[in-house]
Chain A
Amino acid sequence: MGLEGPAHAGGGLLIVMFVLYGQVVVNGLVSGLIYALTAAGFSLIYGNAGILFFAIGDAYMLGAISFYYLIAVAGLPYPLALLAVLVLLGLLGVILEAVIFRRLRGNDLTMAFASLAIGLLMAGIALEVFGEQGKGLPSPFPGRFKVLGIMLTWDKVVIMGASLIILSGLHAFFKATRTGRAIRAVSQDLDAAMLMGVEVNFIKALTFFMALGVAGGAGALVTPLYYADVFMGPPVLMTTLIVVVLGGLGSYPGAVIGGLLIGLIESFGYTFIGGVTTVLMFLAVIALLIFKPQGLLGRE
């Protein structure tokens, strides 16, 4: 009897801890998958065009805002609106590549500045059209359920499912199709790829299509969970930079692994040590780049 009491309490504590950690893990996975998407977009452009694409956060923001309009104003069903956002932002990417970056090719610093100006341009357009006020969407998949004591909402399940589908779709595309392999070839050795007859302009345009598409898709996915607002870009840009440094600049698998890791680290960090987490992550980024300039999992 004397032993049973504390043992029982200990078991209870374990279950409570598991529930708490489980919740933290789920939250980390949800934001981690979102970061994986924006980081995949960033890395695609970095790997294929060598551009430090600062506008990735604003592409994410435009994705959220256009998703809001497609659902709240145009009345599209959720899956169709998501698909439309992927395509719309993708087309924006193609336009940016063809009109701006193609002509600046070869001047890396100018391209980085151009991406900064494009970010400002996107934010300006969003501010003019959408306004300063954040707007939310009603949850498209209301309801919650418990698995192993962890409370899950259908919204979170859908976000995780959809990002996994997008990410594995991209992965399959890179591995299994000719065009996908051509994209990887361009990111590994541009000259060799050109000699092999790869149509570089097409590949770069396609890269921008996918990059802005996935970043915009990420913005669309989080909209039912949070708000769509004009200022959501810069924080995501900063986290994306942390992710790509961890995952290796320009590496697609690195972006996905890095995204999940940062999502989890952030989630645990915020739970246990609070907002200092972000400062520590940025310090870690600086330290990491000093010792491995191409990032932790990147190639030299």
Chain B
Amino acid sequence: MAVNETPHKNILFPLIAILLLGLPWVLQSAYSLHLMIMVGLMVVLAASNRLVLVSGAWFMGHAAFYAIGAYGVVLLRSKAGLDYWTALPLAGLMASLVAFVLGYATSRVRGIPFAIISVAFVEVVRLTIIKIKWLGGHKALTSPPPEPLLGIDFSSKIEYYYFILFLVLITLFILYLIENSPAGAALKTMAANEELAESLGINTTRYKVFTLTLCAFFGGMAGGFYAPYVAVTGPTSFTLNTSILILFNVVVGGMGSLWGPVVGAVFLTLLPEVLPGQAGIQNILYAGVVLAVLFFLPRGIVDLPNRIRLAAGRRKGGKLA
């Protein structure tokens, strides 16, 4: 089957590239472009969250890194007077630094206790922002658009679209390299059995800290992108709900492959657009879809072609018999 797919992929990738690059000219309304930008943002968040999940740690606190990135960029610009292009990587590094400390401190904690730590961590970050006026408090902060870079000025959604596309590609490229390196194999062993991994000489603490730190960097960058894009950023954007939404994107797409979060982000970002009704009905249907995927496609939507092929094969087999 893998042999079969190769020629497809050779045509598929350039096609996707052309499609992604040309999208702003195809999409007529600013709103459709906005949706694509939100898809890209979610890909960065979900793909990086998945990296930690792959190592076997139930990390549910990505909203915290997202918040640190967003507030980092806003504060570094307004309080330290940095320009956006310096502030953005610095905000990513800030999130990484926090993740590094958190990762080391919690390296012995697994499973549900780790999940609760990550949930508490979201609350600590959110409440700290609310309680410290200097950081913004309850108020929403405004973030001006990025300074022009290489003559490109961020006056319309098109620039943001290419910017997030660039971030998505970098994120996926780095995650792809990790996954297909010895580190990727080590992570999978850890997820399957942490004791076994340790007895094989895998330094599980180092891998845990590494995945969390990298995950935080991407989350921070995503937050740094989000702040000027939406212009107004408040603590309500970074609640446990945000974390949960990111996780839904990972599991609905499929945790087993790097394409899972991509598929999940496209599917779940566009889903509310086709769902009828008000917020209540939308939430009901959205939750229903997530539950249905958990039930019938436990490996996510990326597993769907496989399932169909299997089902078709079974039918064929039945006829032969």
Contact = CB atoms under 8 A, between A and B. Distances in A.
A290 B251 CA distance: 27
Chain B interface helix/strand/loop/mixed: helix
Interface string A270-296: 000001101100110110011001110
Interface string A19-50: 00000000000000000000000000010001
Given A124-B283, A276-B131, A279-B128, A107 B109 contact: no
B158 interface: no
Given A113-B247, A289-B109, A128 B294 contact: no
Interface string A93-115: 00000001001100111101110
A241 interface: yes
A245 interface: yes
Interface string B76-116: 00000000000000000000000000000110111111111
A167 interface: no
B95 to A, nearest CB: 17
Q: Which of B251, B282, B283, B288 has the most CB of A within 10 A?
A: B283
B320 interface: no
Chain A interface helix/strand/loop/mixed: helix
Given A117-B290, A124-B280, A282 B113 contact: no
B248 interface: yes
Nearest to B239: A234
A218 to B, nearest CB: 20
Contact of A293 (B108, B128, B284): B108
Given A109-B58, A285-B117, A286-B117, A114 B112 contact: no
A121 B283 contact: yes
Nearest to A125: B284
Interface stretch (B5-13, B119-127, B144-152, B192-200): B119-127
A238 B110 CA distance: 19
A281 B58 CA distance: 21
A60 to B, nearest CB: 16
B287 interface: yes
Nearest to A52: B112
Interface in B278-320: 278-288, 290-291, 294-295, 298
Interface of B: 53, 58, 105-106, 108-117, 119-121, 123-124, 127-128, 130-131, 239-241, 244, 247-248, 251, 278-288, 290-291, 294-295, 298
Given A116-B248, A282-B127, 13 more contacts: A52-B115, A103-B295, A110-B251, A117-B248, A117-B291, A118-B287, A120-B290, A124-B280, A124-B285, A127-B279, A249-B112, A276-B131, A289-B113
